[in-house]
Amino acid sequence: MISHGFTQFQESKFKQLKVDDKVQMGQWLHVYISFQVDTLPEGLSEPSALIILNQENDVVQMVVQDEGCDSEFKFTEGEQQQLTEFLREQGIVKE
């Protein structure tokens, strides 16, 4: 994960990914995912992901959350790939 201002960078390997909730918000589908990592970046205590999909189930945005709220961190490209693959495995996003 990358902190705002790029002061911290850490490529994390997610474990125990789980879809906690899916909420339709007008034209958008919000998918909330919890996961575990071995080492947390400083400033994060309980990270999770909010994935926003459009009506075609294409990923529009991936948001790092901490304790259920948007955080100052962003996912790295590798972390985004892990989340996208997980969504494919769950049948939420198509190949």
DSSP string, 68-93: TEE-S-B--HHHHHHHHHHHHHTTSS
Do 25 and 12 form a contact (C-beta atoms < 8 A)? Answer: no
Pairing of strands 69-70, 28-36: unpaired
How does pLDDT run across 8-31, given as a tens digit for each residue?
A: 788 999 999 999 999 999 999 999
pLDDT the model gives residue 94: 81
pLDDT the model gives residue 61: 97
Per-residue pLDDT, averaged over 75-93, amounts to 96
Please report, for the chain, the start and end positions of each structural domain, with discontinuous segments joined by +.
4-89
pTM for the full model?
0.92
How does pLDDT run across 41-83, given as a tens digit for each residue?
A: 888 999 999 999 999 999 999 999 999 999 999 999 999 999 9
